[in-house]
Structure 1
Amino acid sequence: MTFQQLSFTVEVAKCASINKAAERLYTHQSNVSNTIKQLEEELGIQIFQRTKKGVSVTEEGREFLSYAEEIMNKKAFVEDLYSKSHFRRQYFSVSSMRSYFLSVPITNLQPYVTHSQGDPIYIRLKKQSFSDVLDDVQYCRSDLGIVFLIKSHSQRIQRLSSVKNLSYYELGESHISVVLRDDHPALAEHAPQQVMEHIAGYPYVIAENQENFGRFYDDSSRSISQLFEDPPKCVISINDSAASQDIVAHTDSFFISSTRWQHPQHYCFSSIPLEGEDNVLTHYYVTRKNQALSPLTELYIRELKKMFGNL
């Protein structure tokens, strides 16, 4: 399958005519017809129904064209991006298991961004699962990864980093905490050490990228499993962290955080750390082995270390 075959097919579908498509493509009708026929034979499908009045798209052709148009649009985007020098940028991408770890260091990069010389800067921040963060760094989709594991599971990152040719560096430790608003009824009715015995009766808010009703946190924890020995009465799953905080701020719900509440004080939240070694997390940043770090990456790592130093 070639780009020419895809472009001919997409154009014929737009024109509903091989002759009109050939005119727009500045080629012969027979060339277009033969090219599409070869593609149909190669894929084993019929894309167009041919009649004396013209052509119409078949059912399987409609599905194929949706993919073909997407490929051609991406091809056009890449060609346009690299054919114009003013589109060239400095790229910096970070993948992390928590959006909080992504955003805070960025707020301290303003002087660098403001006074940077040369190409414009394009920064991308992505919230991902543990395995997706490592994959992003391994396959150069991100310059830097930020992950955490339960302290007793530290061998996992050692093993995976070796397999994926990554380097990892410890940032610090934290306790998994339950976060709820300061005037939550559970805090009003019970001492903090007793809240855990009653919290599962309240709505639980989870911010996730992919739907997974069997998981309540990014990594396994005995205390969290015990917290949900019985399924929560209500689980609110949302892929927007800010919206999840709004829900907790205005309802009797709660969420689980990988640290004590460290966000700017937009809300009055209380954090209750879960006790026990099973709830101690170790945080790491990850790079490709022998990777030459850009100035922006090095600066981001410095700000990341400052942030964890204050946890």
Structure 2
Amino acid sequence: MTLQVLRYVIEVAACASISEAAKSLFISQSTLSTAIKQLEEELGIVLFRRNNRGVVLSPEGEDFLQFARQIVEQANYLENRYQQKKSSDMLFSVSTQRLPFAVRAFVKLMETIDPEPFDIAIRECPTYEVIHDVEAGRSEIGVLAVQHQYLEIFRKLLHSGDISQHKIHTLSPYVFVRQSHPLARKNALFIEELKQYPFITFDQGKNSGSHFTEEIVFYSQLDKIVHVSDRCTKIALVRATDAFSIGPDLVNSNGDKMHAGQQEICAIPLAGQSEQLDILWIKKTSRPLTTTAELYVRLLEDHVRRCFDAMPGRQGC
């Protein structure tokens, strides 16, 4: 049984004649008769009975026709839905580590393309999943913050997956604490000053080591470590406790629009460390960028540079 045969049954029922249905379907009468007969044999029922005016549905045929119409209508809906999307809708997906500037660029993308039909997606996920999404074609763009010392490891990993990388900028790490934190008034912070406070870091899952994180981690130098899987939890813990985070950016710092005026979180330069983070976007080498992806990359580059320009001195307090 196929969709085509179901359409044959519907047309024969509408025309009450195999010859007329064959004309309407642009097939021969013998082809149509054979298809109907094979379906009846497959189901073990009689769908049509002949009379002197053509054919009429049997009781089993009436019942079958109801379900056939439902199936064909659903199939037509699916075909129309995705054929229209192919021709008119913008389709775009980006996977990113938990990086606020990647989200802000996505927000700007939505504002820019708002008048047009679109179907777009953003996934915040661990580093390994970002790379896998791009390699598998699930996302057109991936956004990564990579510790500079591990950049060569990433180059080899990406190359093996036919993925090209494009560096946007290098950002220095900041310490993020709440405004009422005992260290919030410092102009710069050393790791030694942070040892007594909990360090909030992203969990990268079982597939990744510390070199896969979008942060600069100091596990060997810190005594209290809390692993979280998402940005909302990290922000909530930093806001509500004396815990701290280290990274290039965090929502509610650097004048983020979503929390303008609240200034709940301070960004303070991390002193005494030479580690930096290279901000990259990645794509499948063999896949040209769509117009929407090109627009997102431009917006992303703009937001990363804004983050860099805001770096000197303390932020957000």
Place the TM-score, normalised by the shorter chain, in its bin.
Answer: 0.5 to 0.7
Distance apart, 1:241 and its partner CA: 1.6
**Count of paired positions:** 227
The two structures have a TM-score, normalised by structure 1, of 0.62
2:192 alignment partner, SS class = coil
Q: Which residue in 2 is equivalent to 1:225?
A: 219
Distance apart, 1:307 and its partner CA: 0.8
Residue 134 (structure 2) pairs with residue 144 (structure 1):
no
Residue 189 (structure 2) pairs with residue 199 (structure 1):
no
Q: Which whole-Å deviations, capped at 9, do the CAs of 1:66-110 have from their partners, x for residues lacking one?
A: xxxxxxxxxxxx979843427835321101112413311122224
Instruction: Check whether the contact 1:170–1:283 (CA below 8 A) recurs between aligned residues.
Output: yes
Distance apart, 1:204 and its partner CA: 2.9
Cα distance change, pair 171–309 in 1 and its aligned pair in 2 (3 A): same
Q: Which residue in 2 is equivalent to 1:101?
A: 101
Q: Which residue in 2 is equivalent to 1:256?
A: 246
1:246 alignment partner, SS class = helix
What is the distance in 2 between the residues matched to 1:295 and 1:108? 15
Q: Which residue in 1 is equivalent to 2:232?
A: 242
Residue 284 (structure 2) pairs with residue 288 (structure 1):
yes
2:218 alignment partner, SS class = helix
Q: How does 1:58-207 map to 2 (within 5 A)?
A: 82-85=78-81, 88=85, 89-116=89-116, 120-187=117-184, 191-193=186-188, 196-207=191-202
Structure 2 unmatched runs, 5+: 1-41, 45-73, 308-317
The one of 266, 270, 276 equivalent to 2:266 is: 270
The two structures have a TM-score, normalised by structure 2, of 0.61
Instruction: Check whether the contact 1:151–1:278 (CA below 8 A) recurs between aligned residues.
Output: no
Cα distance change, pair 204–27 in 1 and its aligned pair in 2 (3 A): farther
Instruction: Check whether the contact 2:202–2:213 (CA below 8 A) recurs between aligned residues.
Output: no
Distance apart, 1:218 and its partner CA: 0.9
Instruction: Check whether the contact 2:197–2:243 (CA below 8 A) recurs between aligned residues.
Output: yes
Deviates more, 1:172-181 or 1:244-253: 244-253
Q: Which whole-Å deviations, capped at 9, do the CAs of 1:220-257 have from their partners, x for residues lacking one?
A: 85x623432x3x1x62x443423431332232222222
1:105 alignment partner, SS class = helix
Q: Which residue in 2 is equivalent to 1:70?
A: none
Q: Which whole-Å deviations, capped at 9, do the CAs of 1:247-280 have from their partners, x for residues lacking one?
A: 3223222222234743333433222333456421
- The residue type equivalent to 1:289 in the other structure is T
Cα distance change, pair 154–267 in 1 and its aligned pair in 2 (3 A): same
- The residue type equivalent to 2:268 in the other structure is I
Instruction: Check whether the contact 2:184–2:266 (CA below 8 A) recurs between aligned residues.
Output: no
Q: How does 1:14-25 map to 2 (within 5 A)?
A: none
* CA RMSD between the two structures: 3.3
1:291 alignment partner, SS class = coil
Determine which structure has more spread, i.e. the larger CA radius of gyration. 2
Deviates more, 1:280-289 or 1:146-155: 146-155
Cα distance change, pair 277–158 in 1 and its aligned pair in 2 (3 A): farther
Instruction: Check whether the contact 1:202–1:252 (CA below 8 A) recurs between aligned residues.
Output: yes
Cα distance change, pair 139–131 in 1 and its aligned pair in 2 (3 A): same
Distance apart, 1:197 and its partner CA: 1.9
Cα distance change, pair 254–213 in 1 and its aligned pair in 2 (3 A): farther
Instruction: Check whether the contact 2:94–2:142 (CA below 8 A) recurs between aligned residues.
Output: yes
Distance apart, 1:217 and its partner CA: 7.7
What is the distance in 1 between the residues matched to 2:77 and 2:280? 34
Cα distance change, pair 155–214 in 1 and its aligned pair in 2 (3 A): closer
Percent identity between matched residues is 20
